[in-house]
Amino acid sequence: MVTGLGATTPLGGDVPSTWAGLLAGDSGISAIEEDWAAGLPVRIAGRLRVEPSEVIDRVQARRLDRCEQIALIAAREAWADAGRPDVEPERLAVVIGTGTGGALSMLGQDDVLEASGVRKVSPHTVPMLMANGPAAWVSIELGAKGGAHTPVSACASGAEAIAMGLDLIRLGRADVVVAGGAEACIHPLPLAGFAQAKAHSTRNDAPQQASRPFDTHRDGFVIGEGAALVVLERADFAAARAARVHAVLAGAGVTSDAHHITSAHPEGQVRAMRLALASAGLGPLDVQHVHAHATSTPKGDLTEAESIAEAIGLHPAVTATKSMTGHLFGAAGALGAVSVILSLRDRVIPATRNLDDLDPQVKLDVVAGRPRRGTLGAALTNSFGFGGHNASLVFTAERA
C-alpha cells in the first residue's frame, strides 16, 4: 500500500504544488543566470522551485549535500502524509536511489582544495559526497533500523529503489519502507559532458519549450533536480492502523540490457514491462495509463515508444512529465511513480507539454493539450538509465 507521498521539484516544494503544476502544464525549466554558465553550450535547467535553505535548518544544511537536503525534505513530507506510522525500528527500512549522489559537494570541495589547500576542506566532505548519504540521513531522521539501501543505476535509480522496497515487504523483511530517489547535480561539468555527448537540448533562448518528448523537433533532455519519495506498507499493517491509501504498488520489473553503456536496447525495456505486469498478476490490456520515461532525446523516445507498443499495446493513454520538470536523473523514476499514483487516485492524467507535432513514428496515444480525465484501474511507469538499466512499476487504484 502507498500511504505517503513527498517531493520537492522544479514545479513546487511539495507534492500538492508539484501535482498542481503538472496538471496546469507549467514549466519548471529556466535559464541559468550564474556567471559560470556563460561559456557553456547549455544554459538551461530545471531548478528547484523552493530552495532547500528555506526549509532545512541552517546548521544542519551546512553538513549536508544538496542531494541529502532534498531527500530529507521529501521524506519529512511523505512520513507526515502517511500519518507517521508507529512501526518497530527494525521493521522500517529506507531505500533511496541516486545517479550521482553528492556530486556538488565533491566538485565544490575539490575546487576548495585546489584554490586554498587542505586546511580549508570541510570535515563533512566524505559524508556529503557519499551516494548513500540521502538514505543514511533519512534513516537517521526516522530511526529506521531495517536497512538503508542505495541503488545507483543512473536514471532508473528512483524506480529501482521503489522496486526494492516492494521486495523487502514481500520477503517479510520490513513492514514499512520509505523509498524513492534524489538528485542535485546542476553544475558546469555534467552540463558540459551532456552537451559534448549531444544529449542535452540547446534551446537556450526558449527554456520552457526545450523539453519536448515525442515531438518531431525534440533535440535532447533538460537537466533537472529534485527528490520524490513514497511510503510503502504491508497491506495488513496499513489496514490495522486504518491508514489512508493513495494507491497500490502491484508489481515491479527490473532488467539490464548488457548491450551498450549509453544506447538502450528495446528488448530490455520490453522485458522490464512484462516482468512488472507478471509481478502484478496483470495483462497488457489491464493497463490504461503509461507514464513514459521519455527524456526528449531523438533516439531514446522512439525506442521507448516501440517498446511500449510491443509490451503493452497502443491502447493506454501515455504521458511524459519531463516536458515540465526536466530530467531528474536518479529521482526521475520516483517522481514518475508519484505522478502515476496521483493519476490513479484523482482519475486524471497530466498532458505532455510542448507536444506540438507528434513524431509520425510514434504510434502511441500521447496525452497532449489538456489533462485527460477518467477512471483508471492500473498504470505503469518506466525508467531507463545509462548502463542499460530498466525499471518498470505497476500501480493499481486502491478502490480496485
Which residues are catalytic, by number? 155, 293, 327
365 shares its domain with 234: no
CB of 138 within 8 A of CB of 147? no
100 shares its domain with 233: yes
Domain boundary among 241, 265, 295: 241
Tell me which residue of 183, 174, 120, 175 sits closest to 147, measured CA to CA.
174
Give the CATH number, domain containing residue 107: 3.40.47.10
Average pLDDT over residues 206-214: 98
261 shares its domain with 211: no
19 shares its domain with 152: yes
pTM of the complete model beyond 0.95: yes
CB of 380 within 8 A of CB of 287? yes
Q: Residue 79's pLDDT is what?
A: 98
Averaged pLDDT of the chain: 97
Q: Residue 125's pLDDT is what?
A: 95
Q: Residue 130's pLDDT is what?
A: 97
Average pLDDT over residues 197-216: 97
Sign of CA dihedral 397, 212, 391, 73: negative
CB of 48 within 8 A of CB of 182? no
77 shares its domain with 163: yes
173 shares its domain with 286: no
pLDDT band at 398 (very low <50, low <70, confident <90, very high): confident
Q: What's the one-letter identity of residue 117?
A: G
Domain boundary among 212, 241, 270: 241
The pLDDT tens digits of the residues spanning 16-35 come to 999 999 999 999 999 999 99
261 shares its domain with 235: no
225 shares its domain with 344: no
| Count of the separate structural domains present in the chain | 2
Residue 400 has pLDDT above 50, yes or no: no
Rounded CA-CA distance 308/391 in Å is 13
Proportion of the chain above pLDDT 70, given as a percent? 100
Average pLDDT over residues 181-188: 97
76 shares its domain with 35: yes
Q: Residue 399's pLDDT is what?
A: 59
Segments forming the whole domain that contains residue 313: 249-396
Strands (E), 257-397: 289-291, 317-319, 348-349, 365-366, 372-373, 378-385, 389-397
Residue 126 has pLDDT above 50, yes or no: yes
Give the DSSP H/E element, type plus range, for residue 307.
helix 298-311
230 shares its domain with 330: no
Average pLDDT over residues 134-160: 98
CB of 2 within 8 A of CB of 246? yes
130 shares its domain with 178: yes
CB of 190 within 8 A of CB of 223? yes
Residue 334 has pLDDT above 70, yes or no: yes
> Please, what is the angle between helix 332-346 and helix 157-170, to 10°?
70
Domain boundary among 225, 241, 257: 241
Residue 99 has pLDDT above 90, yes or no: yes
220 shares its domain with 144: yes
